[in-house]
Every structure is written in C-alpha cells, then in structure tokens.
Amino acid sequence: QALGLSAPRRISSAGNFGSSATRESETENMDDEEKKLHDKINMIRMNFLRLVYRLGQSLDESAVAQ
C-alpha cells in the first residue's frame, strides 16, 4: 500500500477520503499554489490515517469519522 502499512481487516475502505483517481483529476485544473496546498492536506490526511492505524482505531468510530 501507499502508506507502507498493511491495513487491519476491520478497515474496509478509506470512506470519506475519496479515491486516488478522483484526487488526481482534481489536481489537473489547479495552479501551483493550490497544488502545494492540496499536497499538504494529503500529507496531513496520510499522517492522520497512520496515527489511527497505530492506535488500533477503526475509521468507522465517531471520533475518527469526524
């Protein structure tokens, strides 16, 4: 996987985080500043998902879903 981690079985999908194909098509119409912001948000999202995984939480739990 892109995160370098194998996801636990109880996490079936990324849910609200969308697919990579959708995110790639969104970046095609952005200028450089918007792309940098988009990349920064994606890094924060990835770090959050790694933290959730390390803590053994499910993406379906209310605190994570918010």
Q: Which DSSP symbol is given to 40?
A: H
Residue spans of the domains in the chain: they are 18-65
- Do the Cβ atoms of 3 and 46 come closer than 8 Å? yes
Question: What whole-number distance in Å separates Cα of residue 56 and Cα of residue 51?
Answer: 9
Higher pLDDT, 56 or 1: 56
Instruction: Give residue 54's identity as a one-letter amino acid code.
Output: R
Q: What is the pLDDT of residues 43-66, one digit of tens each?
A: 999 999 999 889 888 878 777 777
